[in-house]
Amino acid sequence: MSCPSCGDRSKPPPGTGIRLRSFLFYFSPDSPYQKINPLTKLVMMVTISTVAFIIENIYANLILLLIICAGLAFAHISFGSFKKVIIAISGLLLIAALTHAFFSQIPGDIVYFNFPWGSYITERTIHYVTIFYLKFLAASLANLIFLCTTRETDLIVALRFLHLPYILCFMFALTLRLMSILLDDWWALIQAQRARGMDFKGSIIERLKKLQQIIFPLLTSIFKKIEDTNYAILARGFTLSDVQRTSIRQLRWRFFDYFLLTLSIVLLVVVIIAKYYYGYLSFR
């Protein structure tokens, strides 16, 4: 059965229980995102991330974040798969936002706290930090949807459609694949240590000390995977020379792809005009 989006004949029939491997997790072949052209998903990810960084209004950022969360729900990905990733992203962004607040000097009408190093927190500081957190969280979730519903072969086909050199497409996809392998190895080591009786509960300092015991085997595993990947590439005769490559996967455009591309471009144009021409969606 051919893939509706890219002509992939390796797609399993719906309802067989076979799941497809994306950059990060496995997702159902019945997922609506599987029917979308990978180039469309790439444009949507870039557009939504750009819009998230342009908007500087709490309510607009919240609406965009809700739309992205709704899109994540339609991905047909097991919540247990990416729950820890979302928690980790949210926690890191929260730490970055609070750190930024501790060293900011945004003037306001009410000063809540003064730091010894000259920084202070006002009502505008809280407003700015909230916007900072929401926009980075929205952009991160938009990228997460793309990585959870796209395979490396789909990305190579999409980038090749833009007439980029094959080696650049291959290296970009390979980098993302190694990142997903790193994530898999990380959770595998965590589960292995838990099976040996290690408890990762406690304060942040205690957890960091315990995680130090995973760093060395993780690095060893990474280097071993890189070496295996290198041997696999050489065994397949991969070369940097300019050869005429063929592929069974061809991009196919549907009405839904044109609709999503048009909607993405219209959204970006409307946000740019609203902010830079009329002054809306700006930090006040």
Helices and strands, counts by H and E, the chain: 8, 4
> 26: which DSSP letter?
E
H helix or E strand, kind and range, residue 216: helix 204-235
Listed residue (65, 48, 35, 37) closest to 263, CA to CA: 48
pLDDT at 244: 62
Q: Are residues 236 and 258 in the same domain?
A: no
80 lies in the same domain as 113: yes
Size (the chain), residues: 284
HSE-CB at 177 with a 13 A cutoff on CA atoms is 16
89 found inside a domain:
yes
Does residue 144 sit in the same domain as residue 43?
yes
Same domain flag for 83 and 205: no
Are 247 and 264 within one domain?
A: no
pLDDT per residue as tens digits for the range 38-76:
889 989 999 999 999 999 888 999 999 999 988 888 877
For residue 118, which phi and psi values (nearest 5 degrees)? 105, -10
Comparing 171 with 48, which gets the higher pLDDT? 48
What are the Cα distances from residue 269, in Å, to 39, 256, 259, 261, 262? Answer: 19, 20, 15, 12, 11
Q: Do 186 and 266 belong together in one domain?
A: no
**Is the same domain home to 40 and 138?**
yes
Query: Mean of the pLDDT values across residues 123-131?
Result: 86
Strand intervals (E) in the chain: 20-21, 26-27, 111-114, 120-122
Give the number of domains in the chain: 2
Question: What pLDDT sits at residue 240?
Answer: 61
Residue 113 sits at φ, ψ, to 5 deg, of -155, 140
So what's the pLDDT on residue 263?
A: 92
Beta strand 111-114 pairing with 20-21: unpaired
Residues 206 and 185 in one domain: yes
| 3-state secondary structure at position 186 | helix
Domain span at 191: 164-252
Q: What is the DSSP string of 111-126?
A: EEEE-TTS-EEEHHHH
Q: Assess whether 176 and 241 both reside in one domain.
A: yes
Q: Tell me the per-residue pLDDT of 245-263, one tens digit each, with 9 for 90 and over.
A: 666 666 778 888 899 999 9
